[in-house]
Amino acid sequence: DVKVTQSSRYLVKRTGEKVFLECVQDMDHENMFWYRQDPGLGLRLIYFSYDVKMKEKGDIPEGYSVSREKKERFSLILESASTNQTSMYLCASNYDRGLNTIYFGEGSWLTVV
Tell me 61's DSSP state. -
- Return the H-helix or E-strand segment holding 110: strand 108-112
Beta partners for residue 91, in sequence order: 34
Does 43 help bind other proteins (rule: CB under 8 A)?
yes
Distance CA 91, CA 75 (A): 9
Question: Which residues between 16 and 35 bind other proteins (CB under 8 A)?
Answer: 31
Contact with other proteins (CB under 8 A): which of 50, 72, 73, 95? Answer: 50
- The set of residues, in sequence order, having a beta carbon less than 8 Å from that of 41 and lying 6+ positions away, is none
Contact between 37 and 90 under an 8 Å Cβ cutoff? The reply is yes
Contact with other proteins (CB under 8 A): which of 19, 34, 105, 112? Answer: 105
Contact with other proteins (CB under 8 A): which of 66, 74, 107, 112? Answer: 107
Tell me 22's DSSP state. E
Nearer residue to other proteins within complex by CB, 26 or 56: 56
Contact segment (CB under 8 A) with other proteins among 13-21, 61-69, 73-81, 95-103 equals 95-103
Cα 39 to chain center, whole Å? 18
Nearer residue to other proteins within complex by CB, 19 or 90: 90
Instruction: Tell me which residues touch other proteins (CB under 8 A).
Output: 4, 31, 37-40, 42-43, 45, 48, 50, 56, 58, 87-88, 90, 97-99, 101-107, 109
